[in-house]
Amino acid sequence: MPDMLVKLFKLPNDVPLSKALIDQGVVIRTAMSYEKEQVTMWVRNTFCSAWASECDVCFSNHPTSCFIATESGGIIGFACHDSVCKNFFGPFGVIKNKRRLGIGKALILSCLYAMRSNGYAYAIIGGVGPKDFYKKTVGATLIKGSSPGIYRNRLKVGKAKKLT
């Protein structure tokens, strides 16, 4: 899967979206360090262990580079940046029954605005799946020749070698 590039100086305004979500009882915020175990466990159980590992790294950044979407005190989505590499967005996900409500877009924009505040002019979305979603949501463009990018030579489950 290829990588995509986002121009952080051309991000859409997120204020109307954030207000609409708040009116619906959805809060988008930075995850707090004391929530690390709960958030990473949720990511592992809802998505996969690889994403949980990436999310875990975000709690070592200061400030934390993981955003969460909550509703009635429960997590319904998350988004990370500066996890696998500096200047990379992801991983990110929203539970299935809450998709297409603007929560994903709000999470992405929260991360990208934070990245812009940290001095980045561009952000890289590594190994994208839904290319059309990122293009439509934040104007992301494909980076030619970027596949497999940093995700090459991945470990295979159960293939660790024992040192003797």
Domain ranges of the chain: 4-151
- Per-residue pLDDT at 159 exceeds 60: no
Choose among 130, 118, 57, 56: nearest CA to 93: 130
* Residue 123 bridge partners (DSSP): 6
* Residue 28 bridge partners (DSSP): 69
Cα separation, 124 vs 86, in Å, equals 9
- Per-residue pLDDT at 157 exceeds 80: no
Q: For residue range 10-68, what is the model confidence (pLDDT) as tens digits?
A: 998 877 788 889 989 999 999 999 999 999 999 999 999 999 999 999 999 999 999 99
pLDDT of residue 161: 61
Question: Span 4-151: which CATH code?
Answer: 3.40.630.30
Q: How many of the other CB atoms lie within 10 Å of CB of 34?
A: 8
Q: What is the pTM of this model?
A: 0.90
Q: How many of the other CB atoms lie within 10 Å of CB of 146?
A: 17
